[in-house]
Structure 1
Amino acid sequence: MTENSQPPVESNKRGNIFLKILKKVNFFGRVKNITENNFEEKKNIDELLVESLNTKRLPSLRQMKYLPRFLSKKEKIIMRFSVSAIIICLILIGYIFLKNNLVDKPAYGGTYTENLVGYPQNINPLYAQLNEVDRDLSKLVFAGLLKEDASGQLIVDLAKEWFVDEAKTKYTFKLKEGVEWPDGEKFTSGDVLFTIEAIQNPDYKSPLRASWTGVQASIIDEYTVQFSLPAAYDSFLTNLTVGILPVHLWQDIFPENAELAELNVKPVGLGPYKFDSFVKDKQGFIKSYTLVRNEKYHQRKPYLEEITFKFQPTFEAAVESLKNKNSDGLSYLPQNLKDQLETRKDLNYYFLSLPQYTAIFFNQSKNNALADKKVRQALNLSISKEKILTEVLNGQGQIIDGPILPGMPGYEERGGETFNVEEAKKLLAEAGWKKKEIANSAGATATTTEIETDGNGLSKFLYKDGQELAIQLTTTNQPQSAAIGELIQKYWQSVGVRVTLANVDISKIQKDIITERNFEALMFGEILGSDLDLYPFWHSSAAASQGLNIGGFRNESADKLLEAIRKETNQDQKASKLKDLQKIIKDELPAIFLYNPNYTYVVANKIKGITIEKIFSPSDRLNNINDWYIKSKKGFK
């Protein structure tokens, strides 16, 4: 080897070592088959060195800014178009995703105002059954062990769970712990026991007393109560929806003075809302009543922050207020007034069925003529129920002849119209009621201020033993009720009965008329409730002044059937017993059953979240009020 040949050999040796390294490394981390022979053909060694030292798969943003320097004009145009297309596609994908997944969700806040006809008197679960306004307010202020959901099903409220023994005579309830009254006091079994015992105490004069007859309530521990029944009672659980009173506030109030307590107008309960304020007019009537959200509520708090009820003397005034946008809703819309709201296009109408019958109840102790069954039968036959339905109710309802309503076990379609004037006159004649001759011997009609004539020498109305057949018919002063009253007056007078109408203010009908049984014939509506139990309305134990047996009906056979119906769990047997009960009531005729009305609820469409599937009482329209909302926010499904 010569001296001149050695350096190239050394250089080749270093090149060989470097080539071995390059064979092991590349940009993608894979071994390249780079041989000594084809190395120069594939890449320049400098490029390969840079590539081998770059450990990242993708160029950095800093590197990307130099990319245009290496692109041709055509490549730049293609690149810009591609980037624009990608951006547009991403925007469209984002829009579609948000459209399909982003929705309006309820947000807290907002005020709802509703018109009610009437005035609050006792916002107290013990007495609320007697006044529709009180029922509405009590529904929001108080909570029971159980409650009804939007579909009318019973679910837990203050109760955590309950157990029933095999005989269905012992009901044990576990209460929710950690529940507080608005003033911070703890809710316990003592509150439940006090409420039930108050209902059962005759000194409190609660109309619910009949529903709790024979039930023994007892405390097992601080959060457990037990109810013992004398016999199985199929609908007992419905009783447990009654609102619970705070014993620490009521225990010092004498039962005899309970109806006078301030807590009846400034109630304290465990419901979703609590009392805030009210405004009275110069006469002392409460004109508006405001409730605010109960921040200590034991379930999810309602979305609406505040609810204000405005009390109107008549449905006309209530409709006018709604028409002028002074309120957002109306508790009940009579069909004859619906046209007045045509100018307001932002209203939603909810058409609901209601287990209610409107009837004429007879107080036989106030008018001896009504004690005669033939007279009552004649009064029934002289009324055209079909005309009442078509001319006054615009067909919104169903004609009935007894207390069993459509949908109840034992209900049967009526046979047809019972209107029969001639048969009515015949029955009155059989009962001894006849027109009185008032013509003198010359055939001239005698002049008298006491007896009206029919123009043929006879009295216009019927007499018996010198006594005129006269009845006072009492109803509320609402136009629909007054219109029906005038029709009935016309029908009864057509068969010789003098009828005077007494239209009483709706705020006074309960206290002055029903409670005192101060009427001869009363046209009034009774709501049966979710259990469709006729016991409180027709059992003799409820015939006292504070009971719901308005006509004072007493019948031993009917009492036994009512007691048996409560215990019956077989629906076929229950239906059979109810049919037997209806036969007794239709035969004795303590009341003339007129119709089962439809119920129309009106609310502005700004109120969202209303889901009303079924109601058993007008106040049930508020069952899911916790879900109602005005304000909203965006959120994902």
Structure 2
Amino acid sequence: MTLFRSASARRALFDSVRERFAPWRERLMQTYRIDTLDRLETRIGTLSPSDRAIFYILAFLVCAASLAGLYALEQSVLVTQPSYGGSLVEGEVGSPRFINPLLAITNADRDLTTLTYAGLMGLSGTGDLVPVLADSYEVSPDGKTYTFILRKDAKFSDGTPVTSSDVAFTIERAQDPALKSPELANWSGVRVAAIDQRTVRFTLAKPYAPFLGLTTLGILPSHLWQNISSEEFPFSNLQTNPIGAGPFKVQDVSRDASGLIESMSLVQNQQYALGRPYLDSIRFEFYPRTEDVASALSSGAIESAYDISSPEALTAPYARVFGVFWNQNEKQVYTRAEVRKALSLAIDRESIVSAALGGYATPIMGPVPPDGKITQVPVPATENPTISAARLLTDAGWVYDGESRLWKNVAAKQTLDAITIRTSNVPELKSVASFVQEHWERLGIPVSVELYEPGDLSQNIIRPRKYEALLYGMVIDRNQDLYAFWDSQERNDPGLNIALYANKTVDDLLEDARSNTDPEVRQSDLQKIENIVAADYPAAFIYAPDFIYAVPSDLKGVELPQIVTPADRFATVAFWYRVTDAVWPFLASKK
């Protein structure tokens, strides 16, 4: 055995091992006075030097193996949980001006407002409403009175308690016509009263089931805003240095030479009602164009951005529906149900979603965006949409005139000829319009597309109803209140019934859906509305887009509800994390 070439070498190794173990032996002897160790040492003393060395080496290996086994056992039962720390760099198009729940207009405004302010209620990762500043609430049997009790620990980021007076002040300011708040219409006719420091009551003129969703409105600290007039309100320094009760608070703002905000750093609000956020900070970098955000994401200058696809992108349903809406007053042929249906069936929705939208959308046939709560009217399965549409027209008595490039119905004395699609001059709708144009031209109908800037389209085309076929999108609220889009009383401006649709049964269902507080009844009404409107073909519904959110792969805890506005992506931001700890199960956090 070459390890022990001489007696002196063996003795030296033995002495070295003995010396290394001596402190352990002395400690055991002094602490526990174990006589067995004396006997063991005597027995070891009878061994030859080489055998004693082997014994100590084996003993050392046994101890090491035992420790390794204990460590492996510990690792097998430890659980990983989120921990505090880490940051995120987000890219955003535009620059915020009004970080204020009463004036936020742009997506940048809303994003920062959502992070720095909190409402009585908020959104969960599944899109359900959950209490935030509210501890509890009650709804009166008649559905007209909502009473909220505030949390005892609800505080603004400056440490001031949130009281019912702050809630009342916020609503009263929203109702002030001089402020011109986008929230004015939502709160018109609602009476608010601070009953005591923690109790606030809202009284409605009539039952309105979606009202609870309005209470996600961020609450302003009245002690900072009450002496600022409505005229001075938009110019207050608090618009870009807000004090709210949200999960984060503004730490630093960087501006360019013109005064526009270039970046903004937020840090966690440790007094947030739902608990201290896991992330230490979020920094926003603002860019003028989507292309600039995409480039920054690609280069690593930012880590996250919405409406930018990437391998790590998350998706969620957007509460929006897009389609071509007919104006029967502009072109009488659209009064014919078979014409509307044929033109709808001629559109190859799957190809549009795949080629024009990169797969980030859901083909639809009805007015309700998919959210998993109702059954969508299925898209007809057909190998050739053009043949199906042509057969439908032929069966209804229409004959195609190839020379004139139009369809004729002699009995009805009507013709289906050239169609003009009007839409917004934005990349997505331009692309979709070109596909619809191609699909309808396969029916032998000449189709032209007219593009308008968004503001021009709204003001000069949609409001006066100057279109025969309008490719447009409807943004549906979280409660899926479709009244403004499909009730017959909303056919004229400023109503949003751009299909000029009228159906008494649907009118009744729309009214019941917004007044009945029973969720099951409302879902039943919504299902009937989906089925009836889809069967009437007042529009060729095409797709419901997906919301796309690119995030770093190590950012965990991100839950996206159905998205109404991009700011909804921050619904669970207090629970996002990039740092973890391994702990025993009984020590795991319950947050």
Shorter-chain TM-score above 0.5: yes
Asked whether the equivalents of residues 410 and 578 of structure 1 are also in contact (C-alpha less than 8 Å), the reply is no
Match of 1:71 in 2: 45
Q: Does 1:369 pair with 2:320? A: no
Letter of the 1:224 counterpart: T
Letter of the 1:369 counterpart: E
Match of 2:450 in 1: 500
Q: Distance in 2 between matches of 1:245 and 1:320?
A: 36
Question: CA separation of 1:246/1:473 partners in 2, compared to 1, >3 Å: closer, same or farther?
Answer: farther
- TM (norm. structure 2) is 0.72
Aligned residue pairs total 530
Distance apart, 1:231 and its partner CA? 4.9
Q: Does 1:181 pair with 2:156? A: yes
Distance apart, 1:294 and its partner CA? 2.2
Query: Which of 559, 572, 577 in structure 2 is aligned with 1:624?
Result: 572
Q: Deviations over 1:231-263 (max 9, x none)?
A: 554444333222222333444455577666654
Q: Does 1:352 pair with 2:292? A: no
Distance apart, 1:226 and its partner CA? 1.7
Query: Which of 561, 567, 579 in structure 1 is aligned with 2:515?
Result: 567
Q: Distance in 1 between matches of 2:462 and 2:112?
A: 21
Match of 1:534 in 2: 482
Match of 2:114 in 1: 139
Q: Distance in 2 between matches of 1:555 and 1:124?
A: 38
Q: Distance in 1 between matches of 2:551 and 2:375?
A: 35
In structure 2, list runs of 5 or more residues that go unmatched.
Answer: 1-28, 407-416, 586-591
Question: CA separation of 1:261/1:556 partners in 2, compared to 1, >3 Å: closer, same or farther?
Answer: farther
Letter of the 1:392 counterpart: A
Q: Does 1:330 pair with 2:277? A: no
Match of 2:247 in 1: 272
Distance apart, 1:200 and its partner CA? 4.4
Match of 1:603 in 2: 551
Which structure is larger by alpha-carbon Rg, 1 or 2? 1
Tell me the secondary structure at the aligned position of residue 330 of structure 2: helix
Query: Which of 562, 565, 575 in structure 2 is aligned with 1:615?
Result: 562
Question: CA separation of 1:112/1:573 partners in 2, compared to 1, >3 Å: closer, same or farther?
Answer: closer
Question: CA separation of 1:150/1:190 partners in 2, compared to 1, >3 Å: closer, same or farther?
Answer: same
Question: CA separation of 1:311/1:401 partners in 2, compared to 1, >3 Å: closer, same or farther?
Answer: farther
Question: CA separation of 1:71/1:579 partners in 2, compared to 1, >3 Å: closer, same or farther?
Answer: closer
Letter of the 1:91 counterpart: L
Deviating more after overlay: 81-90 vs 620-629: 81-90
Q: Does 1:405 pair with 2:366? A: no
Question: CA separation of 1:288/1:602 partners in 2, compared to 1, >3 Å: closer, same or farther?
Answer: same
Q: Deviations over 1:307-363 (max 9, x none)?
A: 123344554433332121121122123xxxx5xx5xxxxx5232333332124568x
Distance apart, 1:71 and its partner CA? 3.0
Tell me the secondary structure at the aligned position of residue 369 of structure 1: coil
Asked whether the equivalents of residues 277 and 290 of structure 1 are also in contact (C-alpha less than 8 Å), the reply is yes
Q: Distance in 2 between matches of 1:114 and 1:148?
A: 21
Distance apart, 1:176 and its partner CA? 1.6
Q: Does 1:293 pair with 2:260? A: no
Q: Distance in 2 between matches of 1:144 and 1:399?
A: 34
Q: Distance in 1 between matches of 2:82 and 2:114?
A: 22
Question: CA separation of 1:538/1:177 partners in 2, compared to 1, >3 Å: closer, same or farther?
Answer: farther
Asked whether the equivalents of residues 421 and 471 of structure 2 are also in contact (C-alpha less than 8 Å), the reply is no
Question: CA separation of 1:549/1:276 partners in 2, compared to 1, >3 Å: closer, same or farther?
Answer: farther
In structure 1, list runs of 5 or more residues that go unmatched.
Answer: 1-53, 342-346, 436-453, 460-467
Q: Distance in 2 between matches of 1:381 and 1:314?
A: 36
5 Å-filtered alignment, 1:193-212, equals 193-209=168-184, 211-212=186-187
Q: Deviations over 1:431-477 (max 9, x none)?
A: xxxx9xxxxxxxxxxxxxxxxxx9x9999xxxxxxxx9996734253
Tell me the secondary structure at the aligned position of residue 348 of structure 1: coil
Q: RMSD of the TM alignment (CA)?
A: 4.9
Q: Distance in 1 between matches of 2:391 and 2:230?
A: 51
> Alignment identity in percent?
28
Tell me the secondary structure at the aligned position of residue 313 of structure 2: strand
Q: Deviations over 1:588-621 (max 9, x none)?
A: 87765321123332211232x3242643434333
Distance apart, 1:77 and its partner CA? 6.0
Distance apart, 1:82 and its partner CA? 6.2
Letter of the 1:626 counterpart: A
Asked whether the equivalents of residues 410 and 574 of structure 1 are also in contact (C-alpha less than 8 Å), the reply is no
Tell me the secondary structure at the aligned position of residue 274 of structure 1: strand
Letter of the 1:90 counterpart: S
Question: CA separation of 1:585/1:256 partners in 2, compared to 1, >3 Å: closer, same or farther?
Answer: farther
Q: Distance in 2 between matches of 1:473 and 1:296?
A: 51
Match of 1:28 in 2: none
Q: Does 1:90 pair with 2:66? A: yes
Question: CA separation of 1:625/1:573 partners in 2, compared to 1, >3 Å: closer, same or farther?
Answer: closer
Q: Distance in 2 between matches of 1:188 and 1:307?
A: 28
Q: Deviations over 1:531-561 (max 9, x none)?
A: 233245556898998x893849686945543
Question: CA separation of 1:201/1:369 partners in 2, compared to 1, >3 Å: closer, same or farther?
Answer: farther
Match of 1:344 in 2: none
Query: Which of 148, 172, 183 in structure 1 is aligned with 2:147?
Result: 172
Letter of the 2:369 counterpart: L
Distance apart, 1:497 and its partner CA? 5.5
Distance apart, 1:421 and its partner CA? 7.7
5 Å-filtered alignment, 1:29-108, equals 58-59=33-34, 67-68=41-42, 71-73=45-47, 76=52, 80=56, 83-102=59-78, 106-108=82-84
Distance apart, 1:157 and its partner CA? 0.7
Question: CA separation of 1:76/1:551 partners in 2, compared to 1, >3 Å: closer, same or farther?
Answer: same
Asked whether the equivalents of residues 245 and 269 of structure 1 are also in contact (C-alpha less than 8 Å), the reply is yes
Distance apart, 1:379 and its partner CA? 7.4
Distance apart, 1:396 and its partner CA? 3.6
Query: Which of 477, 481, 496 in structure 1 is aligned with 2:426?
Result: 477
Q: Does 1:247 pair with 2:214? A: no
Q: Deviations over 1:43-100 (max 9, x none)?
A: xxxxxxxxxxx99984479x95994598311684686366325412431233214423
Q: Does 1:220 pair with 2:195? A: yes
Distance apart, 1:273 and its partner CA? 1.1
Letter of the 1:176 counterpart: R
Q: Distance in 2 between matches of 1:219 and 1:425?
A: 63
Distance apart, 1:222 and its partner CA? 1.1
Q: Deviations over 1:91-146 (max 9, x none)?
A: 12332144235566544333311233455454333455x64443332221111112
Distance apart, 1:158 and its partner CA? 0.4
Distance apart, 1:223 and its partner CA? 0.8
5 Å-filtered alignment, 1:515-594, equals 523-535=471-483, 537-538=485-486, 549=496, 551=498, 557=504, 560-568=508-516, 573-575=521-523, 577-578=525-526, 581-582=529-530, 592-594=540-542
